[in-house]
Amino acid sequence: MELAYYSDYAVRLVNSEEPARGKDSLTSVEAVRGLFGGNASAARRATDADVTRFRSVRARLRAVFEAADRGDETLAVDLLNSLLLEFPVSPQISGHDHRDDDDRPLWHMHLADHPSNATAGFAAIAAMGLAFHLTEYGVDRLGLCEASPCRNAYLDTSTNRSRRYCSDRCATRANVAAYRARKRLEADRSASTGLAADSAQRSVASGER
């Protein structure tokens, strides 16, 4: 498993809030536990106190994506480094999978959960995963959805760095909106041209009289 995989933790947490829509799903300890996905043992450590702590980490992770989206590479790295310093990881070698040809474990690096509390463990994994993604693919691969008013975070893994939306749904909505805007512009231009032609014809007719 590539360590960049853990960057999904950061995306899940950031997207638990949609500021432009006034939506926030991070309102209970159950919501906090849901962010851990299949990591049930880590999720069980979550308490009501983690709701506020998770929101604080979420705001800091969103700031990383916002800086990257603006093209401020240095700020994005500085913000991420501050999270890495505050929430250090505990790397360990794991071998829960096996090779095809024998029973020897397939060793790989794993980020162990921080034992102190649920927030520290999640933040450490999310920040380190995002750091690996940034250094492997580039800071411009961290983006915010361009489909207004979404602004969800996403990680661009496209071959040509062309991703602009967090999902196919937002991409479709943005394309439809752009198409309708073009049609309105064409209609306005057509109407304006028609009015100009009518005015010219009236002027000619008035001159002939």
Express each pLDDT in 86-100 by its tens digit: 999 888 887 766 666
Token code pair at residue 16: 């638990």
Is 125 within 8 Å of 87 (Cβ atoms)? no
Mean pLDDT of 113-127: 87
Task: Give the DSSP letter string of 23-43.
Answer: EE---SHHHHHHTTTT-HHHH
Query: What was the pLDDT predicted at 160?
Result: 86
Instruction: Give 40-101 as a DSSP string.
Output: HHHHTT--THHHHHHHHHHHHHHHHHHHHHTT-HHHHHHHHHHHHHHS--EEEEE--SB-SS
pLDDT digits (tens, 9 = 90+) for 137-186: 999 999 999 998 999 999 998 888 889 999 989 999 887 766 676 777 76
Write the single-letter amino acid at 18.
Answer: E
Q: How confident is the model at residue 47 (pLDDT cuts 50, 70, 90)?
A: very high
* Token output for 144: 């915010």
Please give the Cα distance from 156 to 64 (Å, whole number). 15
Which amino acid type is present at position 192?
Answer: S
Give the confidence band of 113 by pLDDT, cuts at 50, 70, 90: low
88 CB contacts (<8 Å, ≥6 apart)? 114, 124
Mean pLDDT computed over every residue of the chain: 85
pLDDT for res 29: 97
Rounded Cα distance, 63 and 142, in Å: 11
Which residue is associated with the tokens 């967090």? Answer: 166
Span 48-68, pLDDT tens digits: 999 999 999 999 999 999 999
Please state the rounded mean pLDDT for residues 10-18: 96
182 CB-near residues (< 8 Å, 6+ apart): none
The predicted model scores a pTM of: 0.79
Kindly indicate the confidence band of residue 25, based on its pLDDT and cuts at 50, 70 and 90: very high
Lowest mean pLDDT across 16-25, 33-42, 175-184, 188-197:
188-197
Q: What is the pLDDT of residue 70?
A: 94
